[in-house]
Structure 1
Amino acid sequence: KDFAKDLKLPPEEAFGMPQQYLVVNPLEGIHEGHVELKMKGVIQGKDDKVHIIVTPFEQEAMNKLNDRLGVVVNLIEGIESSFDNLDSCAGQVKDQIRKKIALVVDSLKDKQEIAKSEAKKLESSKITTLKVQAKTLSDHQGAINTVEFFIVVIVVDFVLSYTTNFKKIKK
């Protein structure tokens, strides 16, 4: 009953008495996508074939099943084809990703070299600036030392003059 409902066939009472139809090797017929009918119940074929007597409604149900089988086979082939396409696309995507990663790595290496070069230029510039500042500091230190020397000479000269003048005044 459920089978008949599923295939949208009339209820069981509508099946009535079996007509004399013959399906010759139904498994082979389904596999090939068709069912072969012989009229008047005459059994034909070789002994290795399976013979079934069916009603017209059962035959219609088998035809619908055969149609469904064809649709399912097409769907399965489509799914298998999709898997093949997916595998193919996956390989292509992996290749593209590898190429992009290689480009990024090369770009990063180039940028690293540029950064190193600029760092060396900056280091050289700072070393030059520090040398100039050290020379300037040394020159200023020399000037300060010279001024200190003159101050010491002046102070010593003043102290000697003061001492000499003080002794003269004391005498």
Structure 2
Amino acid sequence: MMNVYDAVMGRRSIRKFSQTPILKEDLLDLVDCARMAAYPANVQPLKFAVVTEKEMLSEVFSCTKWAGYLENGTPEPEQRPVAYFVVLGDRNIKKGGDLQVENGAACMTVLLAAKERGIASCWLGALNREKLRGILSLPEHLEVLDIVALGYPAQDSQAVEMKDGNVKYYLNEDGVLQVPKRSLSEVLYKI
């Protein structure tokens, strides 16, 4: 079984997926993990929608933007996610204020739990939230925060050393996605 450190170090965003469905039990486990994430003051103001129906997947996909640094970064129809994990803020529970801390805790938890199961993921924040609200027929008190796209990987991705502060990911000559990361010595302020 994968440990947390290995999941963190090995997890990269994947933007091309095989079309193998994800078991419903695995998707329910991801929701269960997200509900157990650390939330400020234990308020727990999030709800989650999981989309797996083929027609709905296409509609949700139309609300997303992909891989802005890549020339052809949008997945082709046969490489699109087989599930979306939609994070929703419940304004009946948390009336005001920002929900990004809660959103971040839930999304990161899902990314790591998915990695442990061999499920690839991509956290998407570039969304047409109003269109997505309509597609999901959300009541007024639920706010679309972000989406985690899910599926089994159809591409490889790896972390590489960042050079000259350039954060742009790219494909190498073998088609492997290269994701620049700052070095430990650059980010460590003091120990």
TM over 0.5: no
User: Per chain length, whose mean CA-contact separation is higher, i.e. which structure has more relative contact order (CA < 8 Å, sep 6+)?
Assistant: 2
After TM superposition, the score normalised by the length of structure 1 is 0.19
Q: TM-score, normalised by structure 2?
A: 0.18
The structure with more helix, counted as a fraction of residues: 1
* Structure with higher strand content: 2
| Pair member with larger Rg | 1
